[in-house]
Amino acid sequence: MSNMQAAPLKLIFKGRLEFGSERTFNMVLNHWNTRVENYFKADVLLKADEVFNAESYTLDVPQQVVMSTEKHWRSTTALLREIAQYALAGNVGAWWVNSGQVLAQYTIEPQSDKTAVAEFIRGRELVQQGGMEMASEALSNAISKFERNALAYERRGYVNYKLKNFKDALYDFTKSINVNPNNPEPYYGRGKVKMIMNDWESAVGDFDAAIKGSLAVQPMHWLARLRKAECLFHAKRFAEAIPELKLFLQKQFPETHPAFRFKAKAEYLMAESVNSAKS
């Protein structure tokens, strides 16, 4: 570990936390500044005046890639965990990457007993368990308690997609994007709905946004790239589909990676795209 500490690390931060009111926002900002001044000092990589937004009452971290140390990684993620507990919604992703491999990854989010937080967590867990109707109810409860819950809209969109309520899914994914346009997941979900509607051209735009809004170390990035290529193929834009498929096929996915099972599909689309582009 000592060698790792001596060498600069590639650290990535991205996300948003919603505090919901001026009072809570000011309390969180004061907590941040006090902890930095009295404890963390210069070890926190995010600067308050760059990430706190007094107009929206949020901590908003656009994708930031920095080369730093393990001490800075631990200090920054520790302070983010502290303030996340005051939030009503959102999360911040943190990645420690070396040569394209994720050495550590955190999703920092609120875990409080506030209704908006608890109902979102319950709904998300029910989605994982397959209880879609109950999940929809819990996620709707979370939204009713805090309307700017982009993640709850995205998860409810997924539920509606699985229940084949495609009009409702389209509404939820779009609402999620309107609240926070920097999350890749609702673009991916909306793109899949548009594929069902054979709206290939519009779906390409959504999958492209999902690619640009995600990291290459995230499965979402590669799944969106394949979906974009598939839409380009159906839109008969074969020459544009080929480079997307080439990137996908060049990537060596482990068997546990969500994109691994789509390799055969990508190979088929590549062969058909090459043949069609020639004709």
Residue with tokens 């979900």: 189
The token pair that represents 242 in the structure block: 């080929």
Q: Name which of 108, 119, 93, 110 is nearest 20 in CA terms.
A: 110
From residue 234, how far is each of 45, 190, 246 by CA, in Å?
Answer: 45, 17, 17
Q: What is the dihedral of CA 74, 80, 82, 85, to 10 degrees?
A: -140
The pLDDT profile of the chain, 279 residues, written as one tens digit per residue, is: 444 445 678 999 999 999 999 999 999 999 999 999 999 999 999 999 999 999 999 999 999 999 999 999 999 999 999 999 999 999 999 999 988 788 899 999 999 999 999 999 999 999 999 999 999 999 999 999 999 999 999 999 999 999 999 999 999 999 999 999 999 999 999 999 999 999 999 999 999 999 999 999 999 999 999 999 999 999 999 999 999 999 999 999 999 999 999 999 999 999 999 999 887
Print burial letters for 220-259: b (CB count within 10 Å at least 16), e (below 16). Answer: bbbbbbbbbbbbbbbbebbebbbebbebbeebeeeeeeeb
What pLDDT does residue 7 have? 65
Q: How many CA atoms lie within 13 A of 12 on its CB side?
A: 19
CA distance 86 to 90: 11
Q: Which helix (H) or strand (E) holds 224?
A: helix 219-234
What pLDDT does residue 279 have? 74
pTM of this prediction?
0.94
What pLDDT does residue 100 have? 78
